[in-house]
């Protein structure tokens, strides 16, 4: 019977990865038990063993781009622990109102100073638009402007920003377009800094669950928040947007998307990065939209997330010495794994980034797509 290492070597060879090699993406093994551990525990064990220092990569993002491009993730069978998590997601609402603030407390409240060092100057924590951009700052400004142009934003418009983060869109829309913005977030730390950064502008920042919103807005935007909603709540989320949007308004939904429908998120990401998170498929999203919205435009620029994530990683890595004592080495390995693994995933095109423009009853005369 072949050993776990032999099986792993054969699988990795299909992806052009060598154990002990020197090419980008090749692996260095520090603990031989890692092979059996990963085969038993799947993607959760793969990430945890990296955090434990059991293995290294010459270029982690390249490793994942190669592995996912060769679909090696399909070879990792789920353990009993992962099956239990799957069943919990099927049976229970992991993103209920009671649980919705958990991701804010565990992820977004980590420390504003960490995010200030990692992100662009506007603190945009979502995919940039790199079509004509050469820097992270340029890519994020281009993305914010793209959103404004897609919804036809004009002076005096009142906009709801669901999942407003540190107020980047709200500030941009108010300064550049003269809009009034209500931004909601489930992170207390985000709300404090967003309020400070948006001071003096017609912007209101609230710590609030999206289900509690019941007001009228000219437009609604949601940039990188839908990934926290959960499939059991997609219809409710869309119903909230539908009741809050004026009849002739537009709703722009910016979300990561995946090619298959799953009831839960990746086990490692859910445990260490985004509690209760999951990525929607096109089928899950359109089912939630049915009868409530007309799809005017569906724009995929997922490959841009690779560039964005790598820019975040380089910023984080450069700033790490000032955070080392505060967070510790295990956090560095966890955060590096998160950023570079996700970059590899988008590079392999296994995951997408969608901007969907929606109207309540169809734009009269048709909607002109903006790119």
How many whole angstroms from its chain centre is CA 234? 16
With helix as H, strand as E and coil as C, how does 114-172 read?
HHHHHCCCCCCCCCCCCCCCCCHHHHHHHHHHHHHHHCCCCCCCEEEEECCCCCHHHHH
Total Cβ atoms within 10 A of residue 85: 20
User: Residues 149, 176, 313, 336: what is their CA dihedral angle, to the nearest 10 degrees?
Assistant: -80
Total Cβ atoms within 10 A of residue 286: 14
User: CA-to-CA distance for 222 and 170, rounded, in angstroms?
Assistant: 11
Out of 148, 164, 244, 342, pick the active-site residue. Answer: 342
With helix as H, strand as E and coil as C, how does 198-216 read?
CCCCCEEEEECCHHHCCCC
* Pairing of the two strands 27-29 and 217-223: unpaired
User: CA-to-CA distance for 121 and 136, rounded, in angstroms?
Assistant: 9
User: Which residues, 6 or more positions from 25, have their beta carbon under 8 angstroms from its beta carbon?
Assistant: 16, 17, 57, 58, 59, 62, 63, 65, 66
User: CA-to-CA distance for 267 and 46, rounded, in angstroms?
Assistant: 10
Cβ-in-10-Å burial (0-12, 13-18, 19+) of 232 comes to: middle
342 in active site: yes
User: CA-to-CA distance for 351 and 279, rounded, in angstroms?
Assistant: 9
Token pair recorded at residue 249: 């308004």
Token pair recorded at residue 149: 């142009």
SS3 246: strand
User: Which residues, 6 or more positions from 230, have their beta carbon under 8 angstroms from its beta carbon?
Assistant: 93, 94, 95, 276, 278
Residues belonging to the active site = 342
């Amino acid at each position: 019977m072949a050993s776990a290492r032999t099986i792993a070597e054969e699988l990795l060879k299909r992806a052009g990865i060598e154990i002990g090699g020197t090419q980008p993406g090749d692996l260095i093994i520090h603990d031989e038990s890692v092979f059996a551990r990963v085969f038993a525990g799947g993607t959760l064990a793969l990430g945890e063993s990296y955090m434990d220092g059991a293995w290294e990569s010459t270029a982690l993002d390249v490793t994942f781009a190669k592995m996912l491009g060769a679909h090696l993730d399909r070879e990792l069978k789920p353990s009993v622990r992962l099956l239990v998590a799957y069943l919990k997601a099927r049976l229970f609402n992991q993103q209920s109102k009671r649980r919705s603030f958990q991701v804010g407390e565990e992820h977004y409240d980590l420390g504003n100073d960490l995010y200030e060092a990692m992100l662009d100057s506007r603190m945009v924590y979502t995919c940039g638009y790199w079509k004509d951009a050469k820097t992270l700052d340029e890519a994020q400004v281009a993305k914010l402007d793209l959103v404004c142009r897609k919804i036809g934003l004009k002076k005096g418009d009142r906009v709801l920003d669901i999942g407003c983060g540190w107020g980047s869109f709200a500030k941009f829309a108010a300064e550049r377009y003269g809009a009034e913005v209500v931004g909601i977030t489930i992170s207390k730390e985000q709300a404090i800094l967003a309020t400070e950064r948006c001071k003096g502008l017609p912007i209101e920042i609230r710590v609030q669950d999206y289900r509690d919103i019941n007001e009228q807005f000219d437009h609604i935007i949601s940039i990188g928040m839908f990934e926290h909603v959960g499939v059991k709540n997609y219809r409710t989320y869309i119903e909230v947007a539908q009741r809050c949007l004026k009849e002739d308004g537009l709703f722009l939904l910016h979300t990561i998307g995946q090619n298959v429908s799953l009831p839960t998120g990746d086990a490692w990401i859910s445990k260490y990065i985004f509690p209760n998170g999951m990525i929607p498929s096109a089928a899950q999203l359109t089912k939630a939209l049915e009868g409530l919205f007309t799809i005017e435009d569906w724009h995929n620029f997922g490959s841009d997330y690779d560039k964005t994530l790598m820019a975040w990683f380089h910023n984080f890595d450069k700033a790490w010495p000032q955070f080392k004592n505060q967070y510790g080495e295990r956090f560095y390995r966890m955060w590096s794994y998160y950023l570079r693994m996700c970059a590899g995933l988008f590079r392999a095109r296994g995951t997408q980034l969608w901007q969907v423009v929606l109207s309540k009853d169809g734009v009269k005369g048709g909607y002109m797509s903006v790119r």
